[in-house]
Structure 1
Amino acid sequence: MKTIFTIPALFGLTMGLWAQEKPSDSLEGKKIVLDEVLVSAIRVTKESPVTFSNLGKDQVKPRNLGQDIPILMNFLPSVVTTSDAGAGIGYTSIRVRGSDNTRVNVTINGIPYNDAESHGSFWVNMPDFASSTENLQLQRGVGTSTNGSGAFGASLNILTDAISKTAYGQISSSIGSFNTLKNNIKFSTGLLNEHVEISGRLSRINSDGYVDRAASSLDSYFLQGAYKDDNTLIKALLFGGHEVTYQAWNGINADSLRTNRTYNSAGEYTDENGDTQYYGNEVDNYKQNHAQLLWNERLTASWSTNIALHYTRGRGFFEQYKEDDDLSTYGIAPAVIDGEDVNTTDLIRRRWLDNHFYGAVFSANYVNKNFNLILGGGWNKYEGGHFGEIIWARFANNTNYRDRYYDNNSSKTDFNFYTKLNYALDERWSLFGDLQYRSVGYKANGEDTGLVDDTFDFFNPKAGLTFDLNQNNNLYFSYAMVHREPNRNDYESGNPRPEQLNDFELGWRYVSSDFQVNSNLYYMKYKDQLVLTGELNDVGAPLRANIGDSYRLGLEIDANLNLGEHFQWQPNLALSTNRNEDFVFERNGTLEELGNTHIAFSPDIVIGNKLNYLPTERIQLSLLTKYVGKQYMGNIDADDSVLDSYSTTDFNVQYEINIDSFVKNIVFSALVNNMFNAKYVSNGYFGSFDYDDTTSATGTTTGFYSGYYPQAGTNFLLGATVSF
């Protein structure tokens, strides 16, 4: 009999999942899959005309030895990852289809995670969060309507730990290169009286990093209380982290890349004897705490609702030693020393963020035989304080300790409402529609931004068609339009325009017991895209600029093949063309028309490969390879802006010992990263500057500079997890 995969499973689950359980026990007790209803409004299945990949806890577990979530996602299609410290711990980032992390919409249990002002996702604020993640879904392209900023490269939605039916305790430790040490403990009470569960985690990660002094000291926690009955699921969550990370955002120049790859200029100064020293507390120090209240209610056989309240509190600073800095920068009058004016001083400053983010998201789901309707949206507000303090100065004149040399505030409101419908025309054809209205208001008064008081109203329609050829094959086509507001840094260079993207996706999926393949063509047409210029601002944040018309055209293929009883092969390939159209650049005082140029940080080829060997049920060996093609760090195709292609290979082993006593089992893991010791660079920066030149016809000559973030050579992590 032909199997039809249609409604009512468009965004995740049918009502029957309330009673279902996962068919196998994990190391953390038997999980109940009803938690999936909390993200059902923004997730998709293979019957949706959306390109996506899923990554579950069991797939992540063998490599979850301290590295951040972006690094653990490295082998998904079209994904490129990087790490400031070079070893995947500390500040890490992800790009999808060439779009940087400010353009990847991230939600946790359906709640926005991207910083409201910068649009970035700072994974360093949630160390070891992978240990509290049940699964995640990466939707490439625009995807479906979600909460938070618009997705211009991808949407990543994370579901935290599911309810465990049985009680467990767990202790995990790992050690590795660069003095890396991770420890965590987890527990669950299991279901008490078949209704209530309490679970939690504490983690600590320390690492010196590959780059000099790029050390990280990271603490985090996760606490969950859950209640369920036949029609209700309520979860209350508290989680957060505290990171102290030595700054490594300066990168190195080409000479250092050849001679001293681990050099870090952060904190460097010259003492009174003329010797080079490094300030010991040139760190980023930030705390972030999250509270979520999630409530799903099944009202009838057809209707269910989700509502979530959330609050995030963030505060912290980065500290810098500044040598011979201008007193006027800090509003300090010149000091008089021995009768002479002194206009510069050595000083130590802290630049603070103190912010609140709160709001609500909601959805209602109606399911019947032929269609699935979802009504949803959210309202969120951000309030941020930005201020700078001087905590020491060699010549301070009449200033006091912790005087503020700037103090400004910003606020942002974000409201969206969406309607999604999947309608089954017959056993083979289904239609998908998705309409979203989004209103954003942003106010700021910083010296870097100027006075900002902008309101943006966006209408984002999406539509698609899915056709089931048979029980194994389906085809889909979708179109999506999305708009996106500028971020805080975009205002530094003037009055940026909002962006518009038209995304076309055409895909084919094949699914059988031993072979699954997903392939898709995409065409992403941008208007006023805010592309990375390659330059950084004074705090290491990438700068962007509107560039008019641009596009991304690509092919993505990923597969999963069972090769007999013991081998599994998971390859993926992404080929793309990413171009700025009719790009204009001012060089030597004259505008030049450069034609179609490469979009910065957009490789034309990305390949991932994973080969698993399971000789027994308790042993898994994996060989993982990543290839990333040549990239340009700027948009003018300059030779000095090239990041060379690179390939890395990791080796991963997991071995499980079942004991079945007080200690249930012990799982040993080993990970060798970059086992062939490739010397590669995954990120960098590139910029231009003009200087006076009397020999030039215009009196001006344009020069260029570049910087690089080298990644670690061969390094390892070893871990053990004991479950009770």
Structure 2
Amino acid sequence: MKKLLFVFQLLFVALLSQAQFVISGKVTDVDGNKLAGANVQLEHSPKGTVTDLQGCYQLEVNKIGNYTLTASFLGFTKLQETVEVTKNLELNFTLTAKSILADEIIVKSTRADANTPVTFSLLSKKDFVNQNLGQDLPYLLSMTPSLVTSSDAGAGVGYTGLWIRGSNIQRINVTVNGIPLNDPESHGVFWVNMPDFTSSVNSLQIQRGVGTSTNGGGAFGATINLETNTLETKPFAEINSVAGSFNTFKNNIRVGTGLINDKWAFEGRLSKISSDGYIDRASSDLKSFFVQGGFYSDKTMVKAVVFSGKEKTYQAWWGVDNWTIENLGRTFNWAGYIENSDGSFRFYDNQTDNYQQDHYQLHLSQKLGEYLKFNAALHYTYGRGYYEEYNQNDSLKNYPIGEQFFGYDSVLNNGVYAYFYHDTVAISDIIVRRWLDNHFYGTTYSLDYTSEKLNLNVGGAINNYANAKHFGEILWAQYVGNTTIEDNYYNNIAEKLDINNYIKATYAILANVYLFGDLQVRMVDYFCSGNEKGGAMAAIDKNYLFLNPKVGISYKNNFLGTVYASYALSNREPIRTDFLDAPENTDPEPETLRDIEFGARKNDKSYNYNINFFFMKYTNQLALTGELNDVGSPIRANVGKSYRLGIEIDGGYEIKNTFTIKGNIALSNSNTNYKEESETGIANYNNVQLSYAPQLIGGLQINYLPFRNTELGISYRYISKQYLDLTENDERILDPYSYTNLHANYTFKPKYLDEIKINIMVNNLFNQLYASNGYMWGDTPYYYPQAGINFMAGVTIKF
């Protein structure tokens, strides 16, 4: 590390000796109005800036030469200018309002803007395109504040997860183009079902805390709002190929027509990702496609979006305990384990997870006047798949097979025959498939009014999760009884209706003082009927009505930036497994969060910062107990009063347009009371930390552009100790860990091609051996080890 820092110091000294030139100016519309927040980008470089409240910008370059700058602003046509720089130069941009309705209007109603009093991070495609080498989206977000990632297979391909402010994905609201992505029953998001989706993402916004009203389940940790690719006016074709450690390969192709007859545009992507994984047999075979097409005019946009993902992964969610690590190695995988009669063992070849999910979206955006816009969407998602497993010595009472009796006999006793069996078989090896087949459809809408002082948004959604079939099939058993192949051993069906409506407004009560209000009404009707494994009834019939208000205020000026404060209340219903895993004759309660946030943020010419304090107070929080159920889902339970309290700081600084330093740190504390009931009695744990809640999360990124079209970067991440359950037992923890990644990219333009870009990544540079996730099985902690040093390299060719 000392050598690395020494190299950066030498490069910095060399940089100081170079000449510096400043390109500065203003960005305005055709009427001379200043466009605050407009983007000014130096072409063929990651360097760019945004205009201040006066519409002014400033960029530094360190060489004499020709430079191309592009200015852009939502709702305006991009403008590109090429200038020769031999001295400090003034370059002003005058942007013209687009004659085509912008795609960004689709997500406007569910996103925060510069005046919204919530804490958020906004990332565009350029922020993650160079690291998009096949790993799932959580890994591309790993350097954002308060965020922790993990991979079952250990290397970011396959099943991955993320936590924000200690909340897992079940408590994070995720939307794609304003349409809910979370599974309505589990509230989970399975990124493995959307391989390479990042290649079709134009931008995303993470709102931490409750955030503003959106569609789908209430946010208790954060919201992630994804926007798919927007209109590209020029035709394009692109091929991307990646190879890396653990036989990891990614290949995709993207094509687009550009704007046809100034009205129509179409694009598509086809992707394939495969990997053996770091963990033994943790293979992934992933396929996906993305297609969209639309009609664009000055007042109307109609856009259809279709994307699908299909995955086959060998199970890697079992984890390893300390005995396994010491005796069999940290990459040992218990999934599919079969012990032979002589004490040796083998593995079942098809212990795999198989799932396909198809998404269909149809969007309409209509400009109704100078200040008013209307959006509506129809959507449908079809998901189906199963996981297959070999269960050795499983109890036959869990199946309709039941105990088997052999050797029917009788004995004469005092003149009376007594009948009996010589042998009773209560266990058997058995192969099963556990299926999920579901349909999710609905509509979303929003009406946006924007004037000089008032931004008003009315929106909502009606979504129905219908005919969701959960069932298990018996494929084979040593003792079959009266069953046949593919007989169901459990079968239940679920439906869930989710209706929400909201109204939110930002009003300028004084110059640069904005008052914010947001009110959401959400109604949920959830029904489930049938039986689970072992014959237990799966009977749920619940109705909920939630009122979720939010208020806040923000103050904005050139010196301080934006200072804000907000209060939000959010409610959410229990999920399917909360009911099924609850103690007999008890039902889980809905949970409530009261979230107070206050902070400041500023984007200046060469630096930016965000600082945010939060206090999140829960009632009936459904906290992770650290245990898993029989399908590997985390078990949650209502706990007593609990809270999270913390501060998040992130920022960046650009040094002479060549060095960029970014960093973030989150310090937090959590507290709850937990009552654990077991066969041995009741144990009370008071004033303990919440599970999976590190008190310190920090990161640092340094990017350096040694010369044009070349970028070098290093990033560092640290996660402090985490408890695996609610007992605050130091023998049940994830140890603190850190990792360092390197990346480099080089872009050049050969003859007859638009561009060739080469990307190289070195993950976990110092080969740290750590586990990023775990769970408790009884009194034994299990861990998910992550890969040591590994590599990925890719090339992108644009035509």
Q: TM-score, normalised by structure 2?
A: 0.84
Match of 2:311 among 223, 243, 251: 243
In structure 2, C-alpha distance between the alignment counterparts of 1:247 and 1:459, rounded to whole Å? 40
8 Å contact from structure 1 (residues 41, 376) kept in 2: yes
1:432 matched residue in structure 2: 516
In structure 2, C-alpha distance between the alignment counterparts of 1:590 and 1:328, rounded to whole Å? 27
8 Å contact from structure 1 (residues 20, 33) kept in 2: no
CA distance 1:645–1:349, shift in 2 (3 Å): same
Task: Note the 1:198-597 alignment, pairs <5 A.
Answer: 198-259=266-327, 260-337=329-406, 340-383=423-466, 384-445=468-529, 446-447=531-532, 450-470=538-558, 473-491=561-579, 492-493=581-582, 494-580=586-672, 582-585=673-676, 589-597=680-688
In structure 1, C-alpha distance between the alignment counterparts of 2:659 and 2:161, rounded to whole Å? 31
Residue 20 of structure 1 pairs with residue 104 of structure 2? no
In structure 1, C-alpha distance between the alignment counterparts of 2:292 and 2:381, rounded to whole Å? 16
8 Å contact from structure 1 (residues 501, 527) kept in 2: yes
2:766 matched residue in structure 1: 676
- State the shift of 1:258 in Å: 3.7
2:728 matched residue in structure 1: 637
In structure 2, C-alpha distance between the alignment counterparts of 1:64 and 1:24, rounded to whole Å? 29
CA distance 1:345–1:22, shift in 2 (3 Å): farther
The residue identity in structure 1 corresponding to 2:109 is A
In structure 2, C-alpha distance between the alignment counterparts of 1:190 and 1:273, rounded to whole Å? 66
In structure 1, C-alpha distance between the alignment counterparts of 2:79 and 2:668, rounded to whole Å? 38
2:749 matched residue in structure 1: 658
Query: Structure 2: where are the runs of 5+ without partners?
Result: 1-25, 27-32, 38-71, 83-97, 409-422
Higher alpha-carbon deviation: 258-267 or 598-607? 258-267
8 Å contact from structure 1 (residues 585, 636) kept in 2: no
- State the shift of 1:521 in Å: 0.3
The residue identity in structure 2 corresponding to 1:681 is A
Report SS of the residue matched to 1:39: helix
Report SS of the residue matched to 2:325: helix
CA displacement, residues 498-534 of structure 1 (integer Å, 9 cap, x when unaligned)? 0000000001112210010000100000000001000
Match of 2:789 among 710, 714, 719: 714
8 Å contact from structure 1 (residues 22, 33) kept in 2: no
The residue identity in structure 2 corresponding to 1:423 is Y
2:106 matched residue in structure 1: 38
8 Å contact from structure 1 (residues 163, 197) kept in 2: yes
Report SS of the residue matched to 1:35: coil
CA distance 1:87–1:47, shift in 2 (3 Å): same
The residue identity in structure 1 corresponding to 2:555 is F
Task: Note the 1:623-634 alignment, pairs <5 A.
Answer: 623-634=714-725
Report SS of the residue matched to 1:640: coil
Report SS of the residue matched to 2:401: coil
CA displacement, residues 474-515 of structure 1 (integer Å, 9 cap, x when unaligned)? 200000000000001101214000000000000111221001
CA distance 1:246–1:616, shift in 2 (3 Å): same
1:697 matched residue in structure 2: none
Match of 2:694 among 587, 590, 603: 603
1:693 matched residue in structure 2: none
Using the aligned pairs only, state the percent identity: 44
Higher alpha-carbon deviation: 610-619 or 193-202? 610-619
CA distance 1:600–1:449, shift in 2 (3 Å): farther
In structure 2, C-alpha distance between the alignment counterparts of 1:73 and 1:304, rounded to whole Å? 32
Report SS of the residue matched to 2:104: helix
- State the shift of 1:47 in Å: 1.5
In structure 1, C-alpha distance between the alignment counterparts of 2:641 and 2:767, rounded to whole Å? 40
CA displacement, residues 603-637 of structure 1 (integer Å, 9 cap, x when unaligned)? 00000111111122311111011100111011110
Match of 1:166 among 199, 213, 234: 234
8 Å contact from structure 1 (residues 441, 456) kept in 2: yes
In structure 1, C-alpha distance between the alignment counterparts of 2:766 and 2:492, rounded to whole Å? 49
8 Å contact from structure 1 (residues 4, 471) kept in 2: no
- State the shift of 1:337 in Å: 5.0
- State the shift of 1:334 in Å: 3.6
1:9 matched residue in structure 2: none
8 Å contact from structure 2 (residues 548, 570) kept in 1: yes
In structure 1, C-alpha distance between the alignment counterparts of 2:404 and 2:626, rounded to whole Å? 38
CA distance 1:68–1:631, shift in 2 (3 Å): same
Match of 2:203 among 131, 135, 158: 135
8 Å contact from structure 1 (residues 217, 244) kept in 2: yes
The residue identity in structure 1 corresponding to 2:556 is D
CA distance 1:276–1:592, shift in 2 (3 Å): closer
CA distance 1:385–1:274, shift in 2 (3 Å): same
8 Å contact from structure 2 (residues 303, 363) kept in 1: yes
CA displacement, residues 96-142 of structure 1 (integer Å, 9 cap, x when unaligned)? 00001100100000000000000000000000000010011000000
CA distance 1:515–1:720, shift in 2 (3 Å): same
In structure 2, C-alpha distance between the alignment counterparts of 1:525 and 1:638, rounded to whole Å? 24
The residue identity in structure 2 corresponding to 1:346 is D
The residue identity in structure 2 corresponding to 1:664 is D
Report SS of the residue matched to 1:70: helix
In structure 2, C-alpha distance between the alignment counterparts of 1:371 and 1:396, rounded to whole Å? 69
CA displacement, residues 401-431 of structure 1 (integer Å, 9 cap, x when unaligned)? 1111111100100000000110001212110
CA distance 1:3–1:627, shift in 2 (3 Å): farther
Report SS of the residue matched to 1:65: coil
The residue identity in structure 2 corresponding to 1:296 is S
CA distance 1:472–1:228, shift in 2 (3 Å): farther
For these two proteins, the number of residue pairs brought into alignment is: 694
1:701 matched residue in structure 2: none
In structure 2, C-alpha distance between the alignment counterparts of 1:208 and 1:332, rounded to whole Å? 37
Larger Rg: 2
The residue identity in structure 2 corresponding to 1:208 is D
CA distance 1:162–1:18, shift in 2 (3 Å): same
8 Å contact from structure 1 (residues 354, 386) kept in 2: yes
8 Å contact from structure 2 (residues 270, 288) kept in 1: yes
CA distance 1:453–1:246, shift in 2 (3 Å): same
In structure 2, C-alpha distance between the alignment counterparts of 1:231 and 1:189, rounded to whole Å? 22
In structure 1, C-alpha distance between the alignment counterparts of 2:277 and 2:624, rounded to whole Å? 26
The residue identity in structure 2 corresponding to 1:599 is L
In structure 2, C-alpha distance between the alignment counterparts of 1:436 and 1:267, rounded to whole Å? 47
In structure 2, C-alpha distance between the alignment counterparts of 1:449 and 1:114, rounded to whole Å? 25
Q: TM-score, normalised by structure 1?
A: 0.93
8 Å contact from structure 1 (residues 20, 34) kept in 2: no
- State the shift of 1:367 in Å: 1.4
1:145 matched residue in structure 2: 213
- State the shift of 1:584 in Å: 3.6
CA distance 1:444–1:234, shift in 2 (3 Å): same
CA distance 1:674–1:449, shift in 2 (3 Å): farther
Report SS of the residue matched to 1:286: strand
